[in-house]
Chains A and B, each alone.
Chain A
Amino acid sequence: MRKTILKYLAGFFILVVLQVFVLNKIQISGYINPFLYVFFILILPFDIPKYLLLILAFILGVTIDMFCDTAGLHTSATLFMAFLRPGVIHVISVKKEFEPKTFPGLHNMNSSWVITYSIILIFLHHTFLFFLEAFSFTQFFATLWRSIVSSLVTFALVFTGFFLVSKPYRR
Chain B
Amino acid sequence: MRNLFNFIAKNHFFLLFIALQAVAFIMLIQNNHYHRSFWINSANYVTGQLYLKYTNIGEYFFLKRINEQLAEENQNLINQTAYSFLKTDQDVFHFQDSVYRRQFTYLSARVINNSVNRRNNYLTLNKGSLHGIEPDMGIITSQGVIGIVKDVSPHFSSVLSLLHIDTRISAKILKNDHLGTVLWDKPNYRKVTMKHIPPHVDLQPGDTIITSGYSKIFPEGILIGTISDYNIKKGESFITVDIDLFEDFNNLNYVYVVKNIFGEEQEYLELTARTKLIYW
Q: Which residue of B lies closest to A62 (CB)?
A: B40
- For the complex, what is the distance from the CA of A50 to the CA of B17, rounded to whole Å? 10
Q: Establish whether residues B21 and A67, one from each chain, have CB atoms under 8 Å apart when the complex forms.
A: no
A83 partner, pick from B17, B27, B47, B116, beta carbons under 8 A: B17
* Contact bitstring A20-33, B, C-beta under 8 A = 1, else 0: 01001001001111
* Contact bitstring A83-95, B, C-beta under 8 A = 1, else 0: 1001000000000
Q: How many residues does chain A have at the interface if contact means C-beta atoms less than 8 Å apart? A: 35
* Contact bitstring A52-75, B, C-beta under 8 A = 1, else 0: 001101100110011111111101
Give the residues in chain A near B170, CB-CB below 8 Å.
Answer: none
- For the complex, what is the distance from the CA of A130 to the CA of B28, rounded to whole Å? 14
* Contact bitstring B229-258, A, C-beta under 8 A = 1, else 0: 000000000000000000000100000000
Q: Within residues 33 to 56 of chain A, which ones have a CB less than 8 A from any CB in chain B?
A: 33, 50-51, 54-55
Q: Which residue of B lies closest to A146 (CB)?
A: B187
Q: Establish whether residues B119 and A133, one from each chain, have CB atoms under 8 Å apart when the complex forms.
A: yes
Asked if A132 is at the interface of the complex by the 8 Å CB criterion, the answer is yes
Q: Establish whether residues A79 and B40, one from each chain, have CB atoms under 8 Å apart when the complex forms.
A: no
Q: Which residue of B lies closest to A83 (CB)?
A: B17
Q: Establish whether residues B117 and A76, one from each chain, have CB atoms under 8 Å apart when the complex forms.
A: no
Given contacts A31-B117, A31-B187, contact A69 B27 (CB under 8 A): no
Q: Establish whether residues A54 and B117, one from each chain, have CB atoms under 8 Å apart when the complex forms.
A: no
Q: Establish whether residues B120 and A58, one from each chain, have CB atoms under 8 Å apart when the complex forms.
A: no
Give the residues in chain A near B107, CB-CB below 8 Å.
Answer: none
- For the complex, what is the distance from the CA of A130 to the CA of B189, rounded to whole Å? 17
* Contact bitstring B7-39, A, C-beta under 8 A = 1, else 0: 000001100110011011111111100001010
Q: Establish whether residues A27 and B17, one from each chain, have CB atoms under 8 Å apart when the complex forms.
A: no
- For the complex, what is the distance from the CA of A24 to the CA of B38, rounded to whole Å? 22
Asked if B44 is at the interface of the complex by the 8 Å CB criterion, the answer is yes
For this complex, into which size category does the number of interface residues on chain B fall?
35 or more
- For the complex, what is the distance from the CA of A75 to the CA of B17, rounded to whole Å? 11
Give the residues in chain A near B189, CB-CB below 8 Å.
Answer: 30
Q: Establish whether residues A54 and B24, one from each chain, have CB atoms under 8 Å apart when the complex forms.
A: no
Asked if B211 is at the interface of the complex by the 8 Å CB criterion, the answer is no
Asked if B158 is at the interface of the complex by the 8 Å CB criterion, the answer is yes
Asked if A9 is at the interface of the complex by the 8 Å CB criterion, the answer is no
CB distance from A102 to the nearest CB of B (A): 21
Q: Within residues 201 to 251 of chain B, which ones have a CB less than 8 A from any CB in chain A?
A: 250
Q: Establish whether residues B187 and A79, one from each chain, have CB atoms under 8 Å apart when the complex forms.
A: no
Q: Establish whether residues A33 and B17, one from each chain, have CB atoms under 8 Å apart when the complex forms.
A: no
Give the residues in chain B near A54, CB-CB below 8 Å.
Answer: 13, 16-17, 20
Q: Establish whether residues B24 and A76, one from each chain, have CB atoms under 8 Å apart when the complex forms.
A: yes
Asked if A134 is at the interface of the complex by the 8 Å CB criterion, the answer is yes
- For the complex, what is the distance from the CA of A31 to the CA of B250, rounded to whole Å? 12
Give the residues in chain B near A134, CB-CB below 8 Å.
Answer: 119
Asked if A80 is at the interface of the complex by the 8 Å CB criterion, the answer is yes
Most chain B CB atoms below 10 A, which of A27, A32, A55: A27
- For the complex, what is the distance from the CA of A164 to the CA of B107, rounded to whole Å? 48
Q: Within residues 43 to 69 of chain B, which ones have a CB less than 8 A from any CB in chain A?
A: 44, 46-47, 50-51, 54
Asked if A142 is at the interface of the complex by the 8 Å CB criterion, the answer is yes
Q: Establish whether residues A33 and B117, one from each chain, have CB atoms under 8 Å apart when the complex forms.
A: yes
Given contacts A31-B117, A32-B117, A54-B20, contact A69 B158 (CB under 8 A): yes
Closest 9 CB pairs of A and B: A72-B28, A72-B27, A76-B24, A71-B31, A69-B122, A75-B24, A50-B13, A71-B27, A71-B40
Q: What would 6 A/B residue contacts be, using CB atoms closer than 8 Å?
A: A27-B250, A30-B189, A54-B17, A71-B30, A132-B28, A133-B118
**Chain A interface residues (CB < 8 Å from chain B):** 21, 24, 27, 30-33, 50-51, 54-55, 57-58, 61-62, 65-73, 75-76, 79-80, 83, 86, 130, 132-134, 142
**Chain B interface residues (CB < 8 Å from chain A):** 12-13, 16-17, 20-21, 23-31, 36, 38, 40-42, 44, 46-47, 50-51, 54, 113, 115-120, 122, 124, 158, 187-189, 250
